[in-house]
Copies of this chain bind each other. A is one copy, B any other.
Amino acid sequence: MSDLIRVTVWNEYRHEKRDPKIAEIYPDGIHGAIAKYLMTQPGMEARTATLDEPEHGLTDEVLASTDVLIWWGHMAHGDVRDDIVEKTYSRVLDGMGLICLHSTQGSKIFRKLMGTNCNLKWREIGEKERLWVIEPGHPIADGLSEYIEIEHTEMYGERFDIPEPDTLVFVSWFQGGEVFRSGCCYHRNKGKVFYFRPGHETYPIYHQPEVLKVIANAVRWAAPVNGPEVEFGNKEPLEDIAES
> A residues bordering B, Cβ < 8 Å?
93, 95, 112-117, 119-123, 125, 127-128, 130, 132-139, 141-146, 155, 157-159, 161, 163-164, 166-168, 171-179, 181, 186-192, 224-242, 244
Copies of this chain, how many? 4
For residue A121, which residue of chain B has the nearest CB? B235
A181 shortest CB reach to chain B, Å: 7
B177 touching A142, Cβ below 8 Å: no
Known A-B contacts A122-B234, A187-B135; A227 and B142 likewise in contact (beta carbons under 8 Å): yes
Contact with A166, one of B125, B164, B241 (Cβ below 8 angstroms): B164
A225 touching B176, Cβ below 8 Å: no
Bound Cα distance A130, B178 (Å): 8
A237 touching B167, Cβ below 8 Å: no
A170 shortest CB reach to chain B, Å: 10
Q: Give the residue among A119, A174, A181, A238 with the most B Cβ atoms within 10 A.
A: A238
Residues on B with C-beta less than 8 A from A144 are: 227-228
Q: Give the residue among A144, A159, A234 with the most B Cβ atoms within 10 A.
A: A159
Known A-B contacts A136-B190, A143-B226; A235 and B93 likewise in contact (beta carbons under 8 Å): no
Known A-B contacts A117-B93, A121-B232, A125-B241; A132 and B178 likewise in contact (beta carbons under 8 Å): yes
B242 touching A141, Cβ below 8 Å: no
Known A-B contacts A145-B228, A146-B230, A168-B168; A130 and B192 likewise in contact (beta carbons under 8 Å): no
Known A-B contacts A145-B228, A224-B137, A238-B130; A161 and B179 likewise in contact (beta carbons under 8 Å): no
A232 touching B119, Cβ below 8 Å: yes
Q: Give the residue among A113, A130, A157 with the most B Cβ atoms within 10 A.
A: A157
B192 touching A137, Cβ below 8 Å: yes
